[in-house]
Chains A and B, each alone.
Chain A
Amino acid sequence: MPELFVSGVALGALAVAAFLAALTRGPALALVYPVSALAAITLGVVDLRVLLAGADVAARLPIGLPGIGLHLRLDSLSAFFGIVINGGVLAASVYGMGFDRAKELTPRVEPLFPLFAAAMNLVLIADDAYAFLFSWELMSLASWALVVARHTDPESRRAAHLYLIMAAIGTAALLFAFGGLAGPAGGYAFDTVRAHPPQPTVAALVLVAALVGCGSKGGLIPLHAWLPLAHPAAPSHVSALMSGVMTKVAIYGFVRIAFDLLGPPIWWWALPPIILGAMTAVLGLLYAVLDRDLKRVLAYSTIENVGVIFVALGLALAFSANGQPEGAAVAMAAALLHVLNHSWFKSLLFLGAGAVLHATGRRDLDGLGGLIHRMPRTAAFFLVGALAISALPPLNGFVSEWLLFQAVIAAPALPQAALHFASPAIGAMLALAAALAAACFVRVYGTAFLGRPRSAEAAGAHDVPLAQQLAMGGLALLCILGGLMGSVLAMALAPVLDKLVGAALPGPGSGPTPFSLIAFDPARSIYDAPVIALFVAIASLTTLVVVHRLSERRTRRGPAWDCGFPDPSPATQYTASSFAQPLRRVYGAAAFAAQETVVMPPPGDMRPARFSVVVVDHLWRVFYAAPGRAVIGLSERLNVLQFLTIRRYLVLMFVTLVILLSIAAVTT
């Protein structure tokens, strides 16, 4: 029981920090970040202990729903997600400590930061529907207030408004899910729900509701449109938390409902997450490739990663429905590892973007460039993050991607025809997503950090204070270690996998080296990160030494080749949109009906030609603009009822009376 007490104390510390920060002004606000960092560390340690010990810790408080009380439980699943979340909170707090006490601390952000962290942790340990939704909605409320912190900018107000409505829709869907699970009697505690799972039809409804609820918070297509608006609008360390960590709480919600509360799965439950996830992955990246705002690109890439995780969860559902626990273990391990990895490299990238914003004051990629010379450390950490998110071998992104591909490759063995034929399609879409991710982040890194500065702000940039570099450095180190020690992390997941799908990944012992990651069995597929990394290092060092001994060591700096045109203006460089032009030509026409129009002036006229690109976002038009117009239109028509005469109101009353009287006459 001590664990829950300790985490209770840590959550209490966060709440008190929030309360005190709400009262104080000025530099005292900076105290918030050390307190939240400490609280995050304690919570993380408690989670780690529970995860490794594998024993659940439960408590029941008298508050909450009358008669049911507030159930809390820290089991291995919550502990794993706790580690992910508290890691993110720790990084964001350390980054926060770097803020300049005088100018950057505002009473609109600091008090809400610990509240947001506490709400997320509370969601994990909630063990009944009321506590879950209470903290879930509190989390949305705190993040809404953080998004609208820069309230003078109408853009962030609109983003915050859309975000809170989507959060409300998500909560309504989860309310349906828990309503279905609890049944008319109202047995909201999770253990009563586990005691008698719902029959198939209700279970299907609950699964769809959970998918909508958690998908809207995570950013599944078509419930994604708020994410690229809301996440960038928040301050950088908060958007790192929202993108890197809050989406993971959404995934935790889906895993808790689909794998824990709903009882034994049925095979077609896997189809919606797989199909939606794959579409989200590809479309998310197509949006990212075409967008020119640094933080919005990162938000779109969050959508892609959430899509990939939902594909993995779908595959896990498919495997466990067909009684293949080792396949389910591989898919679930891919999902959970990707949750961990994504929270690391996405937080790193958002903190990096925050550093760039802090240094240059600009977020548009076409205004940056050449930052690698002016912000060397941030550039190095951002590079590690960019390579990690593109799932390239030595880093952690590839570990979960590799596991996922192994699961997809094993999927054709599933009996049902739908899954049978879905697996190659899913494999192709995931490979396309991986390639698009690489293209997207080469574009982002190339445009922002490499080349020559395209604006005065970019030229005048300087690196961020030490604390912020420390936060980014820590995360970059985690990405590298996560890549090398992938199998160790997979082993640590064993208790969670046993709880969810009944089997764990084969131990490293069965492979030649202790650190090799094995999907099904060594003969089938193996990936030994340390050996590969070691050989790459040895090979590059030997070539460096050999080449330096054999060759001239003289190097000379000269002007870059400019085809003989002496004008070295930075505008000649490839900008973000020109880099995306080939991808737009190939994929944009299909996905967004993208057309490029070039208007040439008549011959002899010296006016410049005009080049314009029209990109139509169908999803926004159908799922957001249309309902919005419908509601406003209907409210416009109904508005007439406010301006009737007294006589007409009496007519309304009279008609209702006559209708009710006729009902009474007919029915009795």
Chain B
Amino acid sequence: MTRDLVVQFLAQGAQMTLVLLIAPLAVGVVRRVKARLMRRQGPPLLQAYLDLAKLLRKESVIAEGASWLFRSAPYLIFALTWVAAALVPSFASGLMFNWAADVVALVALLGAARALLALAGMDVGTSFGGIGSSREMMIATLAEPAMMLIVLTLAIAAGTTRLAGVADFFIAEPFAVRVSMALSLIALVIVALAENARIPVDNPATHLELTMVHEAMVLEYSGRHLAVIEAAAALKLVLYFSLIVCLFVPFGIAGPDAGIPAFGLGVLAYLAKLLGLAVLLPIGETSVAKMRVFRYPLFVGSAFAAAALAVFLLFVSKGF
């Protein structure tokens, strides 16, 4: 029994470290593909790692008015996001962690991280922090109902809210394109774009005061704190990628007690799918321009509508 426990613990540890390591790589790939699409050379793939290393070595400049909340927030945000990312089954489902929380808790963990980031943003006492926090919270109020309906769709279809349970259900099911699942996929993609401050909702690369949301909150951070925040943002992106992969494209995920080779295959399949998404995202971003702030309700509202439609379709018959 203890051997089995050790393997379990190792697998869970491997998943957590895997997710942490590939996060900057995913961001690198996204930036590179985006540059390529704009016919630019683009930064090297490992640029994200180099940025983190550079930031770690720099001294951290903190505003006078900042309190202990400002200094401790980055570590808490990173920890919350990392635990949330570890919850999502990447190469194997049913790992030790999946027994600790389900998707509702996952969404709540992300909510906690977001609230702490918004508070940290306001701690410094400048208008940029205010802009970022207020818009971030407004986007959250639009995204959470949609996320809730996506969870409801999956719960009705799979009968459970545990991510591993949903993944196992779809693996066992014969392959079939279901309209409700397609609609909730669209909804999840839109919510992911909104939550990760990607192009239609917020431009991650901009420092233009009036448009930035995520960047405005982290404007005052520098040095090692900024590094931790950047890592947390990258982790969040990977979390949403693996969430989409695990819920909608779960093929190749190994069972909880499968042997080492199955885990290896699982990792390969997971990396391939991640790469696919990391390429699709910049394609989507470059094809559309950033929206004005008060068009967000329409955009995220459409995600809500899609998820609602998915739920109603499921009411008609489980088969949809």
Using CB atoms and an 8 Å cutoff, list the residues of chain A in contact with chain B: 369-370, 372-373, 379, 383, 387, 390-394, 398, 401-402, 405-406, 408-409, 412, 420-421, 423-424, 427-432, 434-436, 438-439, 442-443, 445-447, 450-452, 511-513, 516, 522-528, 531-532, 535-537, 539-540, 543-544, 547-548, 550-552, 554-563, 570, 572-574, 578-583, 585-587
Interfacial chain A residues near B296, Cβ < 8 Å: 586
Interfacial chain B residues near A391, Cβ < 8 Å: 108
Pairwise interchain contact A559-B100, C-beta atoms closer than 8 A: no
**CB-defined A-B contacts under 8 Å, sample of 12:** A373-B67, A383-B69, A390-B111, A391-B108, A431-B144, A435-B143, A450-B123, A511-B99, A552-B224, A555-B62, A560-B65, A573-B130
Interfacial chain A residues near B142, Cβ < 8 Å: 586
Pairwise interchain contact B223-A555, C-beta atoms closer than 8 A: yes
* Interface flags, B79-119, vs A, CB<8A=1, else 0: 11011001000000000110111101100110110110011
In the assembled complex, the CB of B93 is this many whole angstroms from the nearest CB of chain A, namely: 13
**A526 in complex: contacting residue of B67, B83, B100, B219, CB < 8 Å:** B100
Pairwise interchain contact A424-B149, C-beta atoms closer than 8 A: yes
Pairwise interchain contact B162-A524, C-beta atoms closer than 8 A: yes
Give the nearest-CB partner of B128 in chain A.
Answer: A561
**B129 in complex: contacting residue of A370, A405, A574, CB < 8 Å:** A574
Q: How far is the CA of A392 from the CA of B56 in the complex (A)?
A: 30
Pairwise interchain contact A452-B125, C-beta atoms closer than 8 A: yes
Using CB atoms and an 8 Å cutoff, list the residues of chain B in contact with chain A: 56-67, 69, 75-76, 78-80, 82-83, 86, 96-97, 99-102, 104-105, 108-109, 111-112, 114-115, 118-119, 122-131, 133-135, 137-138, 140-145, 147-149, 151-152, 155-156, 159-162, 165, 209, 219-220, 223-224, 227-228, 293-294, 296-297, 304, 308, 311-312, 314-315
**B160 in complex: contacting residue of A405, A430, A524, A555, CB < 8 Å:** A524
Interfacial chain A residues near B131, Cβ < 8 Å: 574
Pairwise interchain contact B104-A525, C-beta atoms closer than 8 A: yes
Q: How far is the CA of A436 from the CA of B102 in the complex (A)?
A: 22
Pairwise interchain contact A560-B75, C-beta atoms closer than 8 A: no
**B130 in complex: contacting residue of A398, A439, A574, CB < 8 Å:** A574
Instruction: Describe B's contact surface by its main secondary structure.
Output: helix
Interfacial chain B residues near A421, Cβ < 8 Å: 312, 315
Interfacial chain A residues near B143, Cβ < 8 Å: 435
In the assembled complex, the CB of A580 is this many whole angstroms from the nearest CB of chain B, namely: 8
Given contacts A405-B104, A524-B165, A543-B79, 9 further A-B contacts (CB under 8 A): A431-B145, A439-B137, A450-B125, A558-B63, A561-B128, A572-B127, A578-B134, A583-B137, A586-B296
Give the nearest-CB partner of A398 in chain B.
Answer: B108
Interfacial chain A residues near B108, Cβ < 8 Å: 391-393, 398, 401-402
Pairwise interchain contact B228-A450, C-beta atoms closer than 8 A: no
Pairwise interchain contact B82-A539, C-beta atoms closer than 8 A: yes
Interfacial chain A residues near B209, Cβ < 8 Å: 563
Interfacial chain A residues near B109, Cβ < 8 Å: 393, 532
Q: How far is the CA of A559 from the CA of B100 in the complex (A)?
A: 43
Pairwise interchain contact B104-A406, C-beta atoms closer than 8 A: yes
**B75 in complex: contacting residue of A387, A525, A543, CB < 8 Å:** A543
Interfacial chain A residues near B60, Cβ < 8 Å: 552, 554-556
Q: How far is the CA of A436 from the CA of B80 in the complex (A)?
A: 21
Q: How far is the CA of A434 from the CA of B62 in the complex (A)?
A: 32
Pairwise interchain contact B224-A405, C-beta atoms closer than 8 A: no
Interfacial chain A residues near B99, Cβ < 8 Å: 511-513, 516, 522, 526, 528
Pairwise interchain contact A547-B140, C-beta atoms closer than 8 A: no
Q: How far is the CA of A500 from the CA of B141 in the complex (A)?
A: 35
Interfacial chain A residues near B119, Cβ < 8 Å: 383, 442, 445-446, 450
Give the nearest-CB partner of B143 in chain A.
Answer: A435
